[in-house]
A = this chain, B = another copy of it.
């Protein structure tokens, strides 16, 4: 199966991966969320080839995560700005960063401090249940796969 074929999968995780399922894409988004908008700056921060930066930016523009807007006409220059759906990836990146800080060794030296503007404190993102408002621990979740009844081995047709 090809990367591009993931787009047609019904599972939302697979579809998310078709958009952000690439290390360089995620690092681009990380920098975009920290305010980077220019090609050279993305390239400098990522340290990968210019071709990759160019290709991945185009990919994100195509998927409406970024928009490419001119900021200068002579010579033509553009910057890459997050759309609403792009900004909505902020909590995802935060959660990812938080996981790495908690579970991977060697991240303690580099802690991006996140300030919650409305309360003014440095904070950690906590996953909360939309229904009861309590924090959700990893073991507290049960998945009900909509396709499960079609193929769970436990199921025995009469």
Chain A residues within 8 Å of B, Cβ to Cβ: 1, 3, 6, 10-19, 21-23, 26-27, 30, 33-35, 46-48, 85, 87-104, 106-107, 109-119, 121-132, 134-136, 138-147
Contacts and interface: CB of A to CB of B under 8 A. Distances in A.
Nearest to A135: B128
Contacts of A91: 95, 99, 127, 136, 138
A129 B136 contact: no
Nearest to A85: B103
Contacts of A118: 129, 132, 134, 140
Contact of A119 (B115, B129, B146): B129
A98 B27 CA distance: 20
Given A3-B23, A10-B109, A110-B146, A16 B88 contact: no
A99 B88 contact: yes
B116 A34 contact: no
A113 to B, nearest CB: 4
B95 A95 contact: yes
